[in-house]
Structure 1
Amino acid sequence: MNLPAVTNENLFHLNSLVTALQLPRTVLASDDAITYTWNNLPRLLTKIPEQERNELVARMCIAVHSGLFDSAINYIWNAAILALRNKVRSFGLPIIASIKNKDFEEKHLLELQDSELLQLVLELNIIDEQGFFFLSQARATRNNYSAAHPSLQMIDEFELMAFANRCIENALANPINHTGLDIPSFIQTIKNPSFAAIQYNYWLDALKQTYDAQRSLIINMMHGMYCDPNISETIRQNILKLCIDLKQSFSNAIKSKLVNTHTNYLARGEVEKYKASLKFFENLSFLELLSHGELNSLFSRAIERLNQVHNGFDNFYNEPPFAERLNELTKAHAVPLLVQEKFVETVSSCFIGNGYGVSHSALNSYEDMIKNFSPIEISLLLNLVQYETNLLGYRVKNTRNCSERFKKMVQLINPSSVPPSVKHSYDHFIK
């Protein structure tokens, strides 16, 4: 590419202009800096694909020719931003909306700040991590040394060339990078009910191998899909299986985004999505990430439902699923302090049953929970049984079958977990 030469006459006009304005020559780039940059500019311009050589590139050249390096920076940066936006459009705005689980139209793309746009194109694998690093550095230079904002000093010809090269290499001349995970294909595959084992293993390996930014985007996308009430149960199970197998690679940043999305469902009153999100956290054993209030409410509801079923009609038949549900919760998280007493009373009462017997199909769940009673819960159990004012104590005192079953229950407790304060009571029932 050939550009018209910078002549002494051109430089003379610039010098005459600043002299007429009674300003120092240093308000513009020096003659040597202009000449150096102009002579090396064609090599950079040849890297720019023809379709990207727009009016902004032309203005950048004119700014260089005029010694306006701060304006040149602004023009080539804006050209890079426009190129990245076009690449996002080519990726597909509807696909991005599906990934982010929220509206993403043209207006949303145009409203993105430059830093947000860079983060998005990294997540979509339009640029790689190196490109993100160099463009982030270029953005900082543009914010501090370009005509877009007042600056205290001007960059030299070497910084300008490096800046322009980063914009061209990583935005204008950079095709969409497909070496990472192909997100549109992944979405199409995961929505296919026949998610074969060979496909599952391929995508699981791909998710493990991709970089953190893209993995974070996809995991949050899957969480959003899982919580969508319109998604099929088959697809939901596909997502859950992948997330369970990937959870060891979840960074704190990924977990934080999941919690933020979960909290937003609650704040916006999206009840169905919120309930599905709770189930997602439970299945991944991530309940500890949620607030104490949420955990307390989750356990309280499960305990109360089991208690109601146990004391209701046909309880021996209806108890198993509710017992299993509570058992799953206790495996995922310790029982919150505020509901421990009700938890111990309910599980123990269900285990010893009533005068008519017990729910045999639920016994495995009850035994699991009793074997895992904490020292505090053991202490609560052995204190509750002393008083007839609660259901457990009343049945043990007044029903022989319940009394016998309570002794069997105490034998399930790990002796090393029994606190000294209730050791005497424990020994009494063991004998």
Structure 2
Amino acid sequence: MSKKEEQVEIIEPLDIAVRQTNLPQISNFEASLMGLLQKHGLPSQSILVPISQRVAVFNNIGIVVDQVEMERRSTSVYISKFIAAVASGLFDAALNYLWDETISDLRRRVAQYDLSYFYDNAVSNPEKRKKLDNENDLVKIDDNELIHGAREIELISELGFKHLDFIRYMRNWASAAHPNQNEITGLQLVSWLETCIREVISLPLSNIVVEIKRLLSNIKTSSISDPQAKEIAAFFMNLTQDQVNNLASGFYGIYTRTTTDSQTRQNIHNLLPFLWGRVDEKTRQQFGIKYGKFVANNDQDEKTLARQFLDLVSGASYIPDDLRAVEIQAAVENLTAVHWGHNNFYNEPPFARELKRLVGQVKIPKQINHYYVLGLVEVFLTNGNGVAWNAEVVYIELLGKFDPDQALLAILSFDDERISSLLQFTLCQKKFKELLNLMKQKVSSPAVKELIIDIETSGRLDRLRDDHRIREKVDNILRIIA
């Protein structure tokens, strides 16, 4: 065999160097395979990606995979399948295997952290939350809930969340589920592999996340005295607003669980007053809504515990005056759940109409105003792939009922992590501009109108929340209306 006819030279198991001029055997194999398909009358066009694209992956894969510790690498079955699929020219299948490895590892990280804390922050539906207890139940969490929940408790970074959301989108719409593997290039594929490795598989826990994990463990296993609670309170001052809100939600979930022992509840009793002062209004109102759900579902034990939790911080004022707020929030939760599920184009309309029925012509209760607006914006922006036409007519009608305050919330929704992540997709960007047009007529403030113009002329809608100029204008608007 001449030098030109050598097969792929493998220097190290994870350092694969491939030369385009040395691949006649792969080319011959591919030609034979295509001939076999043609012989049996099967499609043979656009089945495998070009060899040059596979070379692009192999020339970079050693550097990327070496970022994973050897012990973890030895169990990465789906990365092996990813490489095998790349070699075969099946990039769509490779993307599926990459996502399987990422989800598998993310579940492992969640299981090693604090499952109850994760479930409390990832799952808003109380009925679904009741069915989630141990590691085996993680399979009941869909991929969208998993990556959002992991972001909520900061197992992944904000940037990592946005990247993973994009890879999830590509996996759903450009993987083996659809015949469009040629849209994926070798450099894109290896870049996504690196993202999953850096943002999930090999990402160490931050010091704050480790401290929260230790605190949650101590709450459940040790007695925390008043003096110790005061010492722990100093740690609360180092938390971001999101971390404070999520920790408070974790406390709420632990406290209202009927299986929680009295010592753990006493620990929360000692700690909560030190944390409550930093919990934002939106989160406090959600605790009142959750209490209302227990009432609506006739969960008497949870209702009593939820009321005790609120009484610890004189939070009875956050309990909704009626159950309408609870019903509307439940309708939004159900709608967003089907929006991100399978066959959403067919499943969304009846849930949209149910939300419309509940909203009616009456003002949205203040406890859920923010949640309602963001939920409606989220479904209106679509999942990035297509418009659920029979549901959109309902969304436009409900958006048309927004008052000026709700319109401002919709305009500023780009500052929400979920909405910001959606804005990296072309269709969602188009729908957000449509949303701005709908909201223009509802606001009169010159500062808000100026902000809308700045948003419309912005080059990257998904980076608005990181634009210091936009950030300054938003802060000024919020100070004016405060």
TM-score norm. by structure 2 comes to 0.52
Could you tell me whether the CA contact under 8 Å between 1:127 and 1:177 is conserved in 2?
no
Match of 2:54 in 1: 34
1:46 aligns with 2:76: no
Q: Against the structure 1 CA distance between its residues 187 and 47, is the aligned structure 2 distance closer, same or farther, given a 3 Å change threshold?
A: closer
Could you tell me whether the CA contact under 8 Å between 2:53 and 2:186 is conserved in 1?
yes
Q: CA deviation at 1:207?
A: 3.1
**Secondary structure in structure 1 of the residue aligned to 2:67:** coil
Could you tell me whether the CA contact under 8 Å between 1:226 and 1:239 is conserved in 2?
yes
CA offsets per residue over residues 167-207 of structure 1, 9 Å max, x none? 1112222234444352342135446545243x434433433
Match of 2:92 in 1: 70
Q: CA deviation at 1:47?
A: 1.6
User: Equivalents in 1 of 2:200, 2:296: separation in Å?
Assistant: 38
1:215 aligns with 2:267: no
Specify every segment of 5 or more residues in structure 1 that has no aligned partner in the other structure, as ranges.
295-431
Q: Against the structure 1 CA distance between its residues 249 and 110, is the aligned structure 2 distance closer, same or farther, given a 3 Å change threshold?
A: same
The aligned amino acid for 1:139 is R
Specify every segment of 5 or more residues in structure 2 that has no aligned partner in the other structure, as ranges.
1-13, 124-128, 324-482
Q: CA deviation at 1:231?
A: 6.5
Q: CA deviation at 1:28?
A: 2.3
Listed as ranges, the matches of 1:90-239 within 5 Å are 90-91=112-113, 93=115, 103-149=132-178, 151=180, 154-180=183-209, 182-190=211-219, 192-197=222-227, 199-227=228-256, 236=265, 239=268
The aligned amino acid for 2:193 is A
Q: Against the structure 1 CA distance between its residues 226 and 71, is the aligned structure 2 distance closer, same or farther, given a 3 Å change threshold?
A: closer
Q: Against the structure 1 CA distance between its residues 229 and 34, is the aligned structure 2 distance closer, same or farther, given a 3 Å change threshold?
A: closer
User: Equivalents in 2 of 1:289, 1:175: separation in Å?
Assistant: 38
Q: Against the structure 1 CA distance between its residues 188 and 263, is the aligned structure 2 distance closer, same or farther, given a 3 Å change threshold?
A: same
The aligned amino acid for 2:174 is Y
CA offsets per residue over residues 56-101 of structure 1, 9 Å max, x none? 1121111111221111111111111111222223335477679999
User: Equivalents in 2 of 1:55, 1:228: separation in Å?
Assistant: 37
Match of 1:3 in 2: 16
Could you tell me whether the CA contact under 8 Å between 2:310 and 2:316 is conserved in 1?
yes
Percent of aligned pairs with the same residue? 22
Match of 1:258 in 2: 287
Q: Against the structure 1 CA distance between its residues 253 and 19, is the aligned structure 2 distance closer, same or farther, given a 3 Å change threshold?
A: farther
Q: Against the structure 1 CA distance between its residues 251 and 194, is the aligned structure 2 distance closer, same or farther, given a 3 Å change threshold?
A: closer
Q: Against the structure 1 CA distance between its residues 109 and 230, is the aligned structure 2 distance closer, same or farther, given a 3 Å change threshold?
A: closer
Q: CA deviation at 1:136?
A: 2.2
CA offsets per residue over residues 350-394 of structure 1, 9 Å max, x none? xxxxxxxxxxxxxxxxxxxxxxxxxxxxxxxxxxxxxxxxxxxxx
User: Equivalents in 1 of 2:215, 2:32: separation in Å?
Assistant: 62
The aligned amino acid for 2:247 is I
**Secondary structure in structure 1 of the residue aligned to 2:183:** coil
Q: CA deviation at 1:257?
A: 3.8
Could you tell me whether the CA contact under 8 Å between 1:60 and 1:73 is conserved in 2?
yes
**Secondary structure in structure 2 of the residue aligned to 1:29:** coil
Could you tell me whether the CA contact under 8 Å between 1:19 and 1:25 is conserved in 2?
no
CA offsets per residue over residues 120-139 of structure 1, 9 Å max, x none? 33344433333323222221
Deviates more, 1:234-243 or 1:67-76: 234-243
Could you tell me whether the CA contact under 8 Å between 2:17 and 2:58 is conserved in 1?
no
Q: Against the structure 1 CA distance between its residues 252 and 119, is the aligned structure 2 distance closer, same or farther, given a 3 Å change threshold?
A: farther
Q: Against the structure 1 CA distance between its residues 189 and 62, is the aligned structure 2 distance closer, same or farther, given a 3 Å change threshold?
A: closer
Could you tell me whether the CA contact under 8 Å between 1:15 and 1:25 is conserved in 2?
no
User: Equivalents in 1 of 2:257, 2:116: separation in Å?
Assistant: 16
Q: CA deviation at 1:226?
A: 3.8
Q: Against the structure 1 CA distance between its residues 71 and 202, is the aligned structure 2 distance closer, same or farther, given a 3 Å change threshold?
A: farther
1:79 aligns with 2:101: yes
Q: Against the structure 1 CA distance between its residues 75 and 213, is the aligned structure 2 distance closer, same or farther, given a 3 Å change threshold?
A: farther
Q: Against the structure 1 CA distance between its residues 24 and 251, is the aligned structure 2 distance closer, same or farther, given a 3 Å change threshold?
A: farther
Q: Against the structure 1 CA distance between its residues 162 and 174, is the aligned structure 2 distance closer, same or farther, given a 3 Å change threshold?
A: same
Match of 1:317 in 2: none
Match of 2:310 in 1: 281
User: Equivalents in 2 of 1:78, 1:231: separation in Å?
Assistant: 34
Q: CA deviation at 1:166?
A: 0.8
Q: Give the number of equivalent residue pairs.
A: 294
Could you tell me whether the CA contact under 8 Å between 1:57 and 1:79 is conserved in 2?
yes
Could you tell me whether the CA contact under 8 Å between 2:49 and 2:89 is conserved in 1?
yes
Q: CA deviation at 1:113?
A: 0.9
The aligned amino acid for 2:268 is I
CA offsets per residue over residues 282-336 of structure 1, 9 Å max, x none? 5545444322248xxxxxxxxxxxxxxxxxxxxxxxxxxxxxxxxxxxxxxxxxx
Q: Against the structure 1 CA distance between its residues 147 and 232, is the aligned structure 2 distance closer, same or farther, given a 3 Å change threshold?
A: closer
User: Equivalents in 1 of 2:260, 2:116: separation in Å?
Assistant: 17
Could you tell me whether the CA contact under 8 Å between 1:124 and 1:183 is conserved in 2?
no
Q: Against the structure 1 CA distance between its residues 206 and 134, is the aligned structure 2 distance closer, same or farther, given a 3 Å change threshold?
A: farther
Q: Against the structure 1 CA distance between its residues 149 and 171, is the aligned structure 2 distance closer, same or farther, given a 3 Å change threshold?
A: farther
Match of 1:60 in 2: 82
The aligned amino acid for 1:249 is R
Q: Which has the larger radius of gyration?
A: 1
Q: Against the structure 1 CA distance between its residues 210 and 282, is the aligned structure 2 distance closer, same or farther, given a 3 Å change threshold?
A: same
Q: Against the structure 1 CA distance between its residues 189 and 83, is the aligned structure 2 distance closer, same or farther, given a 3 Å change threshold?
A: closer
The aligned amino acid for 2:59 is N
Q: CA deviation at 1:153?
A: 5.4
Q: Against the structure 1 CA distance between its residues 98 and 76, is the aligned structure 2 distance closer, same or farther, given a 3 Å change threshold?
A: closer
**Secondary structure in structure 2 of the residue aligned to 1:3:** strand
Q: CA RMSD in A?
A: 3.6
Q: CA deviation at 1:258?
A: 1.7
Could you tell me whether the CA contact under 8 Å between 2:174 and 2:183 is conserved in 1?
yes
Q: Against the structure 1 CA distance between its residues 117 and 232, is the aligned structure 2 distance closer, same or farther, given a 3 Å change threshold?
A: closer
Deviates more, 1:33-42 or 1:168-177: 168-177
Q: Against the structure 1 CA distance between its residues 142 and 280, is the aligned structure 2 distance closer, same or farther, given a 3 Å change threshold?
A: same
